[in-house]
Structure 1
Amino acid sequence: MPLRFFIKQWLLPPGVLILLLLLGWCLRGRFPRLSTLCFGMGLAGLWLMSLPLVVQQSARLLEREAPLAVQAWPQLAQQADAIVVLGAGRERGDLAWGASDQPSLLALERMRFAANLAKACGLPLLTSGGLHFGEPPSEAQLMAERLQADFGIAVTWQEGRSRTTWENAVYSAEVLQPLGKRRIVLVTQAWHMPRARWSFERAGFTVIPAPMGALGSAEGRPFFGLLPESRAIGQNAQLLNEALGLLAYRLLY
């Protein structure tokens, strides 16, 4: 496991909130006021992280791109040169698939959407995603194999070196731009699109965003949005990571 990943897990919720609770426990004897503050911050943070309403409102701050109208999909062939779908991790050693790695659920959502776009407009497709664990196959290869087997879509190019969204853009440019392909339809989750689009535009592409999987569009009764939900913790953590990543990219690149 990369050191930066280990550190990030403890600096971002829920890891940092667990550390606050542990710190509050350790300080309860000598520093009762500080202990109470740490406990309060940790518990309040975990409660907020568990609320679907917080997911919905936070996602709306990131999900600024409108989805592509289904009726406009066939016209993409006149507006772009290729579809680029970004990797989103993998499931390691799935026993149901002979202990082989498989694309994550997030990646499968992206692949399904990209496959339907490709069928509608006929544009060639590039998958982007590296090794992460240092072991082949790359995410790009995993996605290409499943796109062919599950959706009947042959992937034209694979970019299998990238480990970050920025590298997705840089290495995809090295594959596509020498071929004269600078206009792309970019497929990723709506909350990830701001950082992805910014990165690909910085790499020299003209980007048609094709966001999907929005978290801020769900309508529900407000009361139930205030009930804790385990899934919301992961979603809120992902949204916070995305917001911080977008800020860091603009400072670093």
Structure 2
Amino acid sequence: MELRFLLKQLILPPGGLLLLILLAWLCWSSRPRLALLLLLLGLGGLWLMSLPVVVEQAARVLEREPALAEAQWASLAQRGEVIVVLGSGREEADPAWGSDQPSVTAIERLRYAARLHRASGLPVLISGGLHYGEPPSEAGLMADALQRDFGVATRWREERSRTTWENAQFSAELLREQGIRRVVLVTQAAHMPRSRWCFERAGLEVVAAPLGFLGVANARPLGGWLPEGKALWQSTRLLNEALGQVVYPLLYR
């Protein structure tokens, strides 16, 4: 497993918050005030990040690209030359399917890409490499699902990337060979700003096609002030995006 994946697991919730609670326990007898502060930060962070209302408000800050209106789908053929779908992990060895499968998030992207393809007629490129270095690639899994479940063929597969930056760089290499410079980019709304930045740095013109908006009315009991596990997972993804938007410009030029 790559070091960066391990660090993400330790830093992002719940790992980082659980580490604060562990540190509080370790220094409780020697530095009780510091221990109490760490405990409050750890437990308070877990509570806040498990609230749907926090997810909603945080997403509104990150989801800066507007959704495409359905009336715009057909005109994508004039604005772009290819639909690029970014990988989003996989579920391993599901007995119901007998093999690894694209994640729920990846399936959402494929479904949307299939709709855009049928409306515009644009070909599809899927970008996603090996998951923790193990085959098959995300692009391969997604291309199979796109064909079998949605009846749409994938023109190109980019199977080397491990990050959003590499999604852009390696996809751009493939597309430049075909003389293509304008892409319709499909990914989650919160992920779109970082993805657009990467693809534009790779020399491509981007038409954003975001989906999976979280900054909408959450329709939860008590206005979203009751904790739930799903919100904690969503908060972690949003925090990952917020950190990525800060770190990527420092790592990549």
- TM-score tier, shorter chain, comes to over 0.9
Shift in Å, 1:231: 0.6
1:88 Cα deviation after fit: 0.1
C-alpha distance in 1 between matches for 2:221 and 2:53: 7
Residue 22 of structure 1 corresponds to 22
Per the TM alignment, residue 116 of structure 1 is displaced from its structure 2 partner at its CA by: 0.6
| Counterpart position of 2:164 | 165
Matches within 5 A, 1:49-64: 49-64=49-64
Residues paired across the two proteins, number: 252
What secondary structure sits across from 2:72 in the alignment? helix
What does 1:6-17 correspond to in 2, within 5 Å? 6-17=6-17
- Pairing 1:100-119 to 2, within 5 Å after superposition: 100-119=99-118
Query: Which residue number in structure 2 is paired with residue 147 of structure 1?
Result: 146
| Matches of 1:233 and 1:135, distance apart in 2 | 27
Superimposed CA distance per residue, residues 226-249 of structure 1 (whole angstroms, 9 cap, x where no aligned partner): 111111111101100111011111
What is the deviation of 1:221?
A: 6.4
Aligned residues of 2:53 and 2:218 also touching (Cα < 8 A) = no
Offset at residue 27 of structure 1 (A):
1.5
Taking the aligned partners of 2:4 and 2:202, their CA distance within structure 1 comes to 24
In structure 1, C-alpha distance between the alignment counterparts of 2:176 and 2:83, rounded to whole Å = 13
- Per the alignment, in what secondary structure is the counterpart of residue 137 of structure 1? strand
Cα distance in structure 2, aligned partners of 1:154 and 1:225? 40
Q: Distance in 2 between matches of 1:194 and 1:97?
A: 34
Q: Where do residues 1-253 of structure 1 align in structure 2 (5 Å cutoff)? A: 1-98=1-98, 100-220=99-219, 223-253=222-252
What is the letter of the counterpart of residue 184 of structure 1?
Answer: V
Tell me if structure 2 keeps the 8 A contact 1:103–1:142: yes
CA distance in 1, matches of 2:236, 2:94: 25
Q: How many Å separate the matches in 2 of 1:173 and 1:159? A: 10
Report if the CA contact (8 A) 1:55-1:236 is conserved.
yes
TM-score, structure 1 length as denominator? Answer: 0.97
Residues 124 and 154, structure 2, Cα contact 8 Å, conserved in 1 = yes
> What root-mean-square deviation, in Å, do the aligned CA atoms of Structure 1 and Structure 2 show?
1.2
Determine helix, strand or coil for the equivalent of 1:74.
Answer: coil
- Give the Å deviation of 1:219: 4.7
What is the TM-score when the length of structure 2 is the normalising length? Answer: 0.97
Query: Identity over the aligned pairs, expressed in percent?
Result: 62
Q: CA deviation at 1:218?
A: 2.7
Counterpart AA for 2:73? W
Instruction: Give ranges in structure 1 of 5+ residues lacking alignment.
Output: none
2-structure distance, mates of 1:4, 1:219: 32
> How big is the shift at 1:25?
1.2
Contact 2:130/2:162 (<8 A) preserved: yes
Separation (CA, whole Å) in 1 of partners of 2:174 and 2:2: 27
Q: Which contiguous aligned blocks of 4+ residues in structure 1 show a shift greater than 4 angstroms?
A: none
* Cα distance in 2 for residues equivalent to 1:31 and 1:58: 34
Paired residues of 1:127 and 1:144 also in contact (CA < 8 A): yes
Taking the aligned partners of 2:139 and 2:219, their CA distance within structure 1 comes to 36
Contact 1:128–1:168 (8 Å) recurs in 2:
yes
Deviation per CA, 1:49-83: give whole Å up to 9, x if none: 11111100000111011111101101111111100
Structure 2: where are the runs of 5+ without partners?
none
